[in-house]
């Protein structure tokens, strides 16, 4: 179908399910074991209701905000996802060009199909890019990579902490991987083995499972920019992260791809509101996992998030190249503007927890 027939994230996903090759679909869509968390990431939003306000002159609204020191066009960003050339030859470069139009930040994965220095120049100077780091067992490799990233002009690194080992993604294991696949920044090459062809697993063996809180000191020495921990899954760790002095955290369960039955990220956001509300004044808090609608974005902001990330939607939209990315962003931004108007706010500085009704989940 043409882009004009694509009205939302699910439409992109439906087209992808029919047109992507079997392996790409398996890798992108899969999640850990019974996929409970993947489903809950979405369905949890149905348990949070609005408290809309009326008669607020909403003829004009703005979705502009700030993230990690950048002005951005809307409060959502591209979560880091591996190997975008599986769906489109221009991969992360096409995502960058599409994001540049509305100043949507893009976080580039360690497992991206291109190197940062190939991706960054495709967007105008000053475009907000971030880099996602998987810490290598060989720390000197991570140090060299961080230097390369800083030289490319990137000022914040998202260190993934929810995947010391890959989750068991069975749909992906069942389909054999093309052994010519490799990712330039990690240096990993695909090799099927007796467990199967799960790409996250067979290309992730360089990741250091020994990573721990003490390593933040090493990271500070090796990286001059801001640090965000990606994959915080409890209020206790959100508080530890703030105390450790990082600039931000992403409440995330890796899109349900790591530990199955981990709580949906928004449930953790609610837990933070209840158990450590002071962190929201100390660090920036982001959320990703299952965000597919303007209402999802806005609910997270009301509950204290600075912005939210999306993984799979950008990969599925990339099926249509740069045009798909632009269309996805326009669609989400439009849904967000409509939601803001119907909720009764005109700019994002007006969000607050009183605009959502969480009675259905407050007993959790």
Q: Quick one: 306 or 355, whose CB is closer to ligand FNR?
A: 306
Q: How far is the CB of 27 from ligand FNR (least distance, A)?
A: 6
Alpha-carbon gap, residue 344 to 347, rounded angstroms = 10
Is 87 or 242 the residue whose CB approaches ligand FNR more closely? 87
State the minimum distance, in angstroms, from the CB of residue 81 to ligand FNR: 4
Count other Cβ atoms within 10 Å, centred on residue 1: 10
Nearer to ligand FNR, 148 or 357 (CB): 148
Q: CB of residue 90 vs ligand FNR: minimum separation in angstroms?
A: 17
Q: What is the contact surface with ligand FNR in residues (CB under 6 A)?
A: 27-28, 41, 79-82, 109, 111, 132, 160, 230, 252, 254-255, 257, 288-291, 310-312, 315
3-state secondary structure (DSSP) of residue 345: coil
Q: Which one, 82 or 100, has the nearer CB to ligand FNR?
A: 82
| Catalytic residue, candidates 254, 327, 352, 363 | 254
* Neighbour-count burial for 178-202, b at 16+ CB within 10 Å, e otherwise: eeebebebbebebeeeeebbbbbbb
Q: How far apart are CA 21 and CA 231, in angstroms?
A: 29
Give 197 or 289: the residue with its C-beta nearer to ligand FNR: 289
User: At closest approach, how far in Å is the CB of 134 from ligand FNR?
Assistant: 7
Least Cβ distance, residue 204 to ligand FNR (angstroms): 8
CB of 249 to ligand FNR, least distance (A): 13
Q: With b meaning 16 or more CB within 10 Å and e meaning fewer, what string describes 314-330?
A: bbbbbbbbbebbbbbbe
- Residue 70 is among the residues annotated as catalytic for this protein: no
φ and ψ at residue 200, rounded to 5 degrees: -60, -35
Return d(Cα 13, Cα 1) in angstroms, integer.
12
Cβ distance to ligand FNR smaller for residue 61 or 327: 327
Please report, for the chain, how many H helices and E strands are present, in that order. Answer: 15, 12
DSSP strands (E only) in the chain: 49-50, 65-67, 70-72, 76-78, 106-108, 129-133, 156-160, 226-232, 248-251, 284-288, 307-310, 356-357
Residue nearest to ligand FNR (CB): 311
CA angle 212, 217, 222 (to 5 degrees): 110
Q: Which is nearer to ligand FNR, 132 or 322 (CB)?
A: 132
Torsion angle defined by CA atoms of residues 91, 97, 100 and 101, in that order, rounded to the nearest 10 degrees: -130
Q: Is 153 exposed, middle or buried (0-12, 13-18, 19+ CB in 10 A)?
A: middle
At its nearest, how many Å lie between ligand FNR and the CB of residue 359?
26
At 267, is the secondary structure helix, strand, or coil?
A: helix
The catalytic site residues sit at: 254
């Amino acid at each position: 179908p043409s882009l004009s027939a694509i009205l939302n994230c699910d439409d992109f996903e439906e087209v992808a399910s029919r047109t992507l090759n079997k392996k790409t679909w398996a890798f992108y869509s899969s999640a850990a074991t019974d996929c409970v968390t993947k489903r809950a990431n979405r369905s949890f939003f149905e348990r949070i209701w609005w408290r809309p306000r009326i008669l607020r002159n909403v003829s004009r609204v703005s979705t502009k905000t700030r993230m990690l020191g950048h002005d951005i066009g809307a409060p959502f960003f591209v979560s880091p996802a591996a190997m975008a050339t599986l769906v489109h030859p221009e991969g992360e470069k096409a995502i960058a060009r599409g994001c540049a139009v509305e100043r949507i930040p893009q976080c580039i994965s360690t497992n991206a199909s291109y190197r940062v220095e190939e991706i960054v120049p495709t967007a105008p100077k000053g475009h907000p890019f971030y880099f996602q780091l998987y810490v290598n067992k060989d720390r000197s490799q991570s140090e060299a990579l961080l230097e390369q990233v800083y030289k490319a002009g990137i000022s914040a690194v998202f260190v993934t902490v929810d995947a010391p080992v890959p989750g068991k993604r069975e749909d992906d294991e069942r389909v054999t991987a093309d052994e010519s696949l490799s990712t330039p920044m990690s240096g990993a090459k695909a090799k099927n083995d007796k467990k199967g062809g799960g790409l996250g697993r067979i290309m992730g063996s360089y990741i250091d499972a020994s990573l721990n809180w003490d390593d933040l000191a090493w990271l500070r020495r090796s990286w001059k920019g801001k640090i965000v921990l990606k994959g915080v899954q409890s209020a206790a760790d959100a508080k530890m992260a703030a105390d450790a002095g990082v600039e931000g955290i992403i409440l995330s369960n890796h899109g349900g791809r790591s530990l199955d039955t981990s709580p949906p990220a928004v449930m953790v956001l609610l837990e933070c509101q209840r158990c450590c509300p002071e962190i929201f004044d100390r660090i920036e808090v982001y959320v990703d996992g299952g965000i597919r609608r303007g209402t999802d974005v806005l609910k997270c902001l009301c509950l204290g998030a600075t912005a939210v990330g999306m993984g799979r939607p950008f990969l599925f939209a990339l099926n249509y190249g740069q045009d798909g990315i632009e269309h996805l962003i326009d669609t989400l931004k439009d849904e967000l503007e409509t939601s803001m108007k119907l909720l009764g706010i005109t700019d994002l500085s007006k969000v607050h927890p009183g605009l959502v009704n969480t009675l259905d989940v407050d007993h959790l």
